[in-house]
Structure 1
């Protein structure tokens, strides 16, 4: 299986051009952490916290499923001795997280609009992101196929359970909500995997933050274009500081990584909305 995969990667890379390199690097960036550091706040602050939070949970679901699948299967990536690695990539190869996330993320957004053009755009995006991983030399074709199939399964499950889960949560007490928000910390008792540590940190921070925000702030959609711009300038500055400063100050330990990402989640879901609400009230006064 790996041998025919190398043949396909080599065939694609033999057709390399500078503009294809740029195109596929841009496409693959939409599956990187940096992209979601921009995109999730875009939905949470710029559309509505409830919509952004729903998206975030689906994104975390597919991320966790992919990480667990990779840890269970332990499949290699293409060797840099045989093909060019045009971007950096670490961890195991199968299934491709970029391909899986592209199906789930863009498919979920398309399902919210229920427009035919949105489904077509989502399919095109998922295909192009998957192809980019092969062209860039960091995944075998079967890694991408596995990512697409697993992503489709996760997407269908997410769309099926989302409404019943929301109804169930609406009936739970405040204490139960807080306990559920902290529950993912149990993952850290069993693993120190770098990706799972980060995922657990940001998940707990965002869950606790959303729990607090809905009870204290209840931020809505930005009332004006100026408010939207203010949210992204102020909120984005906070994200940049929390992403870089603690990394420089804290030790390179698993607990420090979990703490850094938890702080990011808290800022996204609660800290920034508190500040936005105060600034917007002051501007409206």
Structure 2
């Protein structure tokens, strides 16, 4: 499947608006290991605020959501849809602004960065929204983190939007699984369903 012409034009518009500072920022942000301080903070905060029993169950659900989002994006959609990344799209690849020679793999729909970041933000939001006022800020991180994939030249806007949809679906499935376990098994008597 080839990208739509309007999508190529929108990508080129967004990708061409950059500075040395934005290039440095988005290159840093798009590198997954650089999000680990955020993850460590969130996990540490969770154990401090909610205790280890609830945190273990929460992490199990979060792990399911992230795993599903990544597998659905990378192992199902990318080979099934077979759509090139902008950096591999013959129609526009010469115009794409990439960083440090990074072009990603050949296929781009859907973005795994977008699916997993949305899964993280939404899972935390749905589980914490009544207890942690600032949890909605994770959506800002997910949007900027996802946009970094456009900035570095490896995803169309549709790849990002599709990734977000996959992330939402993965979270809904993960929550159903965790609630099923809570209702049916309640391992070790740990789970208090809200």
SS of the residue corresponding to residue 154 of structure 2 reads coil
Alignment of 1:61-80 (within 5 A): 61-67=68-74, 68-78=76-86, 79=88, 80=93
Which structure is larger by alpha-carbon Rg, 1 or 2? 1
TM-score by structure 1 length?
A: 0.50
Q: How far apart are residue 91 of structure 1 and its match?
A: 4.8
Provide the C-alpha distance between the structure 2 equivalents of 1:88 and 1:12, rounded to a whole number of angstroms: 17
Distance 1:41 1:83, change over 3 A: same
Provide the C-alpha distance between the structure 2 equivalents of 1:37 and 1:126, rounded to a whole number of angstroms: 15
Q: Which runs of 5+ in 1 are unaligned?
A: 172-213, 215-285
CA contact (8 A) 2:66 2:170 kept: no
SS of the residue corresponding to residue 92 of structure 1 reads coil
Distance 1:38 1:169, change over 3 A: farther
Alignment of 1:139-218 (within 5 A): 139-170=155-186
Bigger shift: 134-143 or 157-166?
157-166
Q: Which runs of 5+ in 2 are unaligned?
A: 189-194
Distance 1:84 1:14, change over 3 A: closer
Provide the C-alpha distance between the structure 2 equivalents of 1:126 and 1:42, rounded to a whole number of angstroms: 14
Provide the C-alpha distance between the structure 2 equivalents of 1:168 and 1:143, rounded to a whole number of angstroms: 37
1:105 maps onto 2:120 in alignment: yes
Distance 1:17 1:56, change over 3 A: same
CA contact (8 A) 2:61 2:174 kept: no
Provide the C-alpha distance between the structure 2 equivalents of 1:144 and 1:12, rounded to a whole number of angstroms: 13
**Larger RCO: 1 or 2 (CA < 8 Å, sep 6+):** 2
Aligned partner of 2:15 in structure 1 is 13
SS of the residue corresponding to residue 95 of structure 2 reads coil
CA RMSD of aligned residues (A): 3.0
CA contact (8 A) 1:76 1:92 kept: yes
Aligned partner of 1:263 in structure 2 is none
1:58 maps onto 2:71 in alignment: no
Whichever structure has more helix as a proportion of its residues is 1
Provide the C-alpha distance between the structure 1 equivalents of 2:36 and 2:4, rounded to a whole number of angstroms: 31
